[in-house]
Amino acid sequence: MTTRPARAKRPARGARASAFAVLLLATVFAGREASAQSSTTSRTVSGTPPRALFDRYCVTCHNQRAKIPAARPLALDTADLATVASDPDLWENVVRKLRAGTMPPAGAARPPGDEADAAATWLERELDRSADARPDPGHVPAFRRLTRTEYRHAVRDLLALDDLPKELDIELLLPADNTVGFDTIADALFVTPTLLEGYLTAARKLAAIAVGDASMPLIVDTYRTALEQPQDEQFADLPVGTRGGMRIRRWFPLTGEYRLRVELAGPLRERHELEVAVDGERVQLVPVGGPAGQPRASASGGEGDGLEITVPVQAGQRTVGVSFVKRTSAYAETLTVPFRRGRGLDPAVSAVTISGPFGTRSAGDTSSRRRVLRCGATASASSRSAGATSASSRTVGSADCARQIVRLLAKRAFRRAATIEDVHTLMPFFEAGRRGGTFDAGIQRVIERVLVSPEFLFRVEGGSKRRDGAAAAPVSDVELASRLSFFLWSSIPDDELLDVAIEGRLRAPGVFEAQVRRMLADRRSDALVTNFAAQWLYLWDLPARRPNDRLFPDFDDGLRQAMVRETELFLGSVLRENRSVVDLVSSRDTFLNERLARHYGIPGIYGSDFRRITLPDGSVRGGLLGQGSILTLTSYATRTSPVVRGKWILENILGSPPPPPPPNVPALKTDDNPKQTRSMRERMTQHRANPVCASCHARMDPLGFALENFDAIGRWRAQGDGGTAIDASGTLPDGTAFKDPLSLRAALVQRPERFVTTFTEKLLNYAIGRNLIAADSAAVRAIVREAFRDGYRFEKLVLGIVASRPFQLRRSES
């Protein structure tokens, strides 16, 4: 795209679009040819179909008369290599097996590695050629609604509202989306009356809070601390010199008085001091406990007395901190008392309830009022196009001013240029609101209406239609802007991106890549960690995991949070520092705090703050497979599961997930002699005894066994359950041997393109909101080849995805 020559004149839309398509494809071709030449993995790229290889190694099983149970019979004896293009589903599958080395299976005669590679390369070329000849970007619905996460981010960016009170928590106001691998999968995003009801309620509440409607009802929110989070030490986000407590970042809807009710737990025989701070400034120091009749916590450790204070708070985003003044750090009973899950040995905060606003209420000066109630140039300082009208010509509070606000809201919310129809639709709501009240009330009604509009709630595509009968066409610039922002930010475009798209310059030379780089550098791209990666790695499931507290008494909420934090920081560093994604598997560094370092047995790290650690040589902790989060997520509550871990590696690193077990598999026989403790490996031998099970478990189980030294919460252990010996050796499906977790990691990245391909497929799947089809494999290969030249850096992969056919094009309506 960067090679595209500048044009003197802007041609008509259709012509531009098709010119772009040609250029886009040309770029993709060029990249492919270049990288095919530079490919170092295949020494002998055969120019002839690999018939002989299939005849020698494959057709013994994969023939017309084969009785091997499979979802789809594969007759390689009769399959015609001259027409590979006519059955991409079948041949992409063959390529996958060859590349992963899963076929022919271990034990059977296997072709030398370079012969298998040559065969795969030949097939890939055929498939790529056919994919280029008939570009198929796959089908995504013309209307796809925002996911709940996207809606939350869109509200944040449209109204400058964040950290909403629980009363307005989008996760409560709207029902959960269905997750089919990723929640972005458009086909599974349904619209129901229940959801629309949620949208109506949310719109009403959000509009009121955005303008600071002084008549809004009282809001009462209770925030609880985790039952299994000791409060004996200082928390990272609370003042130095304090311990325990909690920090609440929250939007206060109006300026007024708020009541904070603090509930305490734990022993209060002695006197303690509780500090309450708003935005870091101490507003009260309250003595608790002791003999003087101060509020007391319950002796049982349950919910105790509460104490209530009233504080004036300015509207907007505020941070409330409640913590104990730390008395002495020499007090170290924690070292002598056996660890137990709980809130710790000292008194603790169990809950904080914030209610309000009381007293005289006013709207105050909030980021959201500044964003939605201002007319004039300041409303869009970063925007190139909005400077036309000077603020002086518009009186704040006038109908003209309202019209200007309406246009800006419509543009941002609907992600396109505002139209006169938008104004006609929305202004009656302003007028109705104003009749009954103030200017602000009018804007409030407009926001309500915008937030339930189908153009806000849905991403709409397909406005530009092809007349020349092509099967696929580029999406329009504004559609592309939304595709970018929802992929990289899980949110709406900002003014800069939108203006570039509206002006038709998004695909101009240099502009597209510059915008993508700018967006990746913006904090909003954290969504790639908190949304994409959290779903890919199931991180959002960790809060629901309850490792057995008898077997794992020191798994508490602090540890759980630390595990999630480590993985998030680690993923964030790959993203922010544009590292190679191969580091995800084999990194030499990670992020730890004291709690997690202790869990990993890494000395010398103190305090609750996370910091970057370069791991010593031979450390087993580098990469996702050494992280507590992944190791816990792939275990049961009571024990590890080599099967789950092995499947996880096959699916997420090697990209060759095992097929589901065949129906009606008989249960494993009961242990004949339950008194004799057997090792996990011994117990799993039954998987191999039955040939039907063995076909997959022979691939899964060894990978899982290699991680048996990590227990079900990711601690290192020398022995398995019941003191059994651990044998961590095994082989990859392609025969590469390993003997422990370290050599497993080395084996997994020996051919890094396998993992990079898998990662790219996941990211593309998430980005385009549909399951991948065979035609996408060609696009993925092109992206991976391009990224190879850049050391598989993250940014290059993202640039590859957003330039790819499935991202840039749309299937034409038939």
Partner 1 sequence: MIVTRRMLPRRTFLRGTGATLALPLLDAMIPALTAQSRTAARPVPRLGFIYTPNGVIQAQWTPVDDGRQFTFSPILKPLEPLRDRVLIVSGLAHRQAESFGDGNADHHRATAAWLSGVHAWTRTTGLEIRLDTTADQIAAAAIGRDTRLPSLELALESATSIACDSGADCFYSNTVSWRTPTNPLPAEIHPRVVFERLFGDGGTPAQRRAQMQRSASLLDSLTDEVARLTRRVGTGDRAKIDEYLESVRSLEVRITRTDAESAIASVELPDRPSDMPATIDEHARSMFDLITLAFRADLTRVFTLLVGREQTNRTYPEIGVPDGHHAVSHHQHDPQIVSKKAKIDTYHASLLGRFLRQLADTADGDGSLLDRSMILYGSGLGDGDQHSHHDLPVLVAGGGAGRSVGGQHLRLRETPMTNLLVTLLNRAGVPLEKLGDSTGPLSIEPLASI
Among 30, 34, 68, 196, binds partner 1 (CB under 8 A): 196
Site for partner 1 in 763-792 (CB under 8 A): 765, 771, 773
Q: Are 524 and 575 in contact (CB under 8 A)?
A: no
Least distance in angstroms from the C-beta of 607 to partner 1:
30
Helix, strand, or coil here: 496? helix
Least distance in angstroms from the C-beta of 51 to partner 1:
28
Binding window for partner 1 (CB under 8 A); candidates: 73-81, 108-116, 200-208, 617-625: 200-208
- Which string of x and - marks every residue 157-186 that binds partner 1 (by CB under 8 A)? ---------------xx-xx-xxxxx---x
Least distance in angstroms from the C-beta of 792 to partner 1:
22
The set of residues, in sequence order, having a beta carbon less than 8 Å from that of 135 and lying 6+ positions away, is 25, 471, 472, 775, 805, 809
Binding window for partner 1 (CB under 8 A); candidates: 192-200, 254-262, 331-339, 559-567: 192-200
Site for partner 1 in 563-622 (CB under 8 A): none
Binding window for partner 1 (CB under 8 A); candidates: 92-100, 358-366, 425-433, 494-502: 425-433
Least distance in angstroms from the C-beta of 284 to partner 1:
24
| 469 makes contact with partner 1 (CB under 8 A) | no
Least distance in angstroms from the C-beta of 147 to partner 1:
13
- 542: closest CA among 532, 555, 551, 554? 555
Least distance in angstroms from the C-beta of 277 to partner 1:
24
> How many angstroms separate the Cα of 234 from the Cα of each of 231, 287, 302, 501?
7, 19, 22, 48
| 633 makes contact with partner 1 (CB under 8 A) | yes
Among 34, 522, 636, 689, binds partner 1 (CB under 8 A): 636
| 189 makes contact with partner 1 (CB under 8 A) | yes
For partner 1 (CB under 8 A), the number of binding residues is 85
Site for partner 1 in 252-291 (CB under 8 A): none
| 68 makes contact with partner 1 (CB under 8 A) | no
- List strands edge to edge, sheet with 255-265: 219-224, 348-362, 255-265, 306-313
Binding window for partner 1 (CB under 8 A); candidates: 91-99, 114-122, 469-477, 633-641: 633-641
What end-to-end distance do the CA atoms of the chain give, in Å? 28
Distance CA 559, CA 552 (A): 12
What is the phi/psi pair of residue 644, to 5°? -65, -40
Site for partner 1 in 653-682 (CB under 8 A): 660-664, 667-668, 670-671, 674
| 434 makes contact with partner 1 (CB under 8 A) | no
| 197 makes contact with partner 1 (CB under 8 A) | yes
Distance CA 461, CA 535 (A): 25
Tokens describing residue 42: 């295949």
Least distance in angstroms from the C-beta of 389 to partner 1:
27
Distance CA 657, CA 699 (A): 10
Task: Look at the chain and count its residues.
Answer: 814
Least distance in angstroms from the C-beta of 722 to partner 1:
15
| 109 makes contact with partner 1 (CB under 8 A) | no
Among 61, 195, 226, 417, binds partner 1 (CB under 8 A): 195
| Amino acid at residue number 355 | S
Q: Are 106 and 779 in contact (CB under 8 A)?
A: no
> How many angstroms separate the Cα of 716 from the Cα of each of 549, 599, 633, 719?
18, 9, 16, 9
| 13 makes contact with partner 1 (CB under 8 A) | no
Q: How many Å is the maximal CA-CA distance in the chain? A: 92
| 43 makes contact with partner 1 (CB under 8 A) | no
Residue with smaller CB distance to partner 1, 14 or 287: 14
- 474: closest CA among 125, 802, 211? 802
| 549 makes contact with partner 1 (CB under 8 A) | yes
| 204 makes contact with partner 1 (CB under 8 A) | yes
Site for partner 1 in 435-454 (CB under 8 A): 445, 448-449, 452-454
| 415 makes contact with partner 1 (CB under 8 A) | no
Site for partner 1 in 134-153 (CB under 8 A): 139, 141-145
Least distance in angstroms from the C-beta of 684 to partner 1:
13
Q: Are 125 and 797 in contact (CB under 8 A)?
A: no
Residue with smaller CB distance to partner 1, 480 or 803: 480
| 77 makes contact with partner 1 (CB under 8 A) | no
Distance CA 8, CA 759 (A): 40
Return contacts of 537-545, CB within 8 angstroms, 24+ apart.
537/567, 537/624, 537/629, 537/630, 537/633, 537/652, 538/633, 539/564, 539/567, 539/568, 539/629, 539/633, 541/633, 542/629, 542/632, 542/633, 545/632, 545/633, 545/637
The set of residues, in sequence order, having a beta carbon less than 8 Å from that of 544 and lying 6+ positions away, is none
| 651 makes contact with partner 1 (CB under 8 A) | yes
